[in-house]
Copies of this chain bind each other. A is one copy, B any other.
């Protein structure tokens, strides 16, 4: 949405959305198609799509000269050009699930649509055509990621394995950012014996905004996909708020830590596997599993009746009893500090509720509410009380990762000893041997 001042100015020039316009100031002249400004964008910034596919935002001022070009010949849909796929480039499959990334505006309605043909991706980010060829581009869902479910995780895992087994060098998954870290954790457990990198990426700002991160995120993801030997699931997103490089972060060690910053995805307790620059430079910055030969397996069994709760002052532990009655089969509790829950007053103590849950065969895992760092249930009496009633130590796992892991393990076994053993064992890098101090940002 533009400000009233901008709207008034544009209408005085008979310029409307989709028109080809020229903007001139004292020094430069810029041609492009007038785009709508999103609701979160600067209402005094005029967004135009350049011929190279990029959007730029130009701050409106009375000094700007703006005129309509090609009068009357208005673009009503996103202009798509044929791009030739280059067969010698690495073959990457793209699975689209929804979210802001690679969206395009319908000029008629103002609605945002997902791009889903190779041509549309190449038009949105022309540089991709020089990096990879698309083996396959499929839309698996079209949802905002807050609406993601375990059924879609299963579908993504199955399709990813299928693509890799059918010859794709890598699979790129476009995803809304809100819950991308839950999905990356789920795929980390579900996908085994990876023959290529599996990269989740998205956009914090829509591609029709000047500040969109779509372009660099897709390019860096394509570089990891086409040119790395990483046999892991990870998230590839902006590493900083400028357009310089992205991080590829292990799927179980990443969390969205900011509502709107482009570098919202931060590594937690394990530094990024690689830094990636749009000029194809990859710098490996941590240990990782390399790609394997043989068949990729999608082991998607999952128990969705699990719950993630938070313990805090005056919190009500009876939710545990309520949810067990409703059929919940496992809990992850975000515990305070080194792994504590309220223990003092009889009414508010979580300990008897956890004890009852474990006794009735429902596992209870504790994970760090602080997000960063590692639990140590042995330091204080209140931590040892949790161990005494059978709670499982989530060590340095993110609560979100512990939640997804518990659902995946419960999809495979109901045996409490086995559940405990698997939850405490590092399966895919979700538990670090040592907590890296340098991943704690200050």
B-binding residues in A (CB < 8 A) = 38-40, 143-150, 153, 176-179, 182-183, 239-241, 256-261, 263-264, 266, 304, 306-316, 318-319, 322-323, 326, 328, 334-345, 348, 368, 370-376, 378-382, 400, 403, 407, 437, 440-442
Contact = CB atoms under 8 A, between A and B. Distances in A.
B322 A373 contact: no
Given A256-B337, A323-B316, A403-B312, A373 B343 contact: no
Given A179-B336, A240-B442, A340-B144, A314 B373 contact: no
A40 B144 contact: no
What's the number of copies of this chain in the assembled complex?
A: 2
4 interchain residue pairs of minimum CB distance: A259-B373, A441-B441, A178-B337, A178-B336
A315 B400 CA distance: 12
A310 to B, nearest CB: 6
12 contacts: A39-B378, A145-B336, A147-B345, A149-B348, A153-B313, A176-B337, A257-B371, A258-B370, A259-B337, A307-B316, A319-B323, A371-B371
B372 A257 contact: yes
Contacts of A368: 259
Nearest to A247: B442
Contact of A261 (B313, B339, B378, B437): B437
Contacts of A311: 146
Point out which of A239, A337, A382 has the most chain B C-beta atoms below 10 A from its C-beta: A337
A373 B145 CA distance: 18
Given A259-B337, A340-B146, A379 B308 contact: no
A276 B345 CA distance: 37
A368 to B, nearest CB: 5
Contacts of A39: 376, 378-379
Given A178-B340, A179-B312, A314-B304, A345 B266 contact: no
A149 B345 contact: yes
B258 A440 contact: yes
Nearest to A403: B312
A344 B143 contact: yes
B343 A147 contact: yes
A308 B310 contact: yes
A324 to B, nearest CB: 12
Contacts of A176: 337
Nearest to A322: B322
Contact of A259 (B147, B348, B370): B370
Contacts of A344: 143, 147, 149
A146 B343 contact: yes
A342 B266 contact: no
Contacts of A326: 316, 318
Point out which of A256, A336, A345 has the most chain B C-beta atoms below 10 A from its C-beta: A336
A413 to B, nearest CB: 19
Contacts of A343: 144, 146-147
Contacts of A177: 337
Point out which of A148, A178, A182, A381 has the most chain B C-beta atoms below 10 A from its C-beta: A178
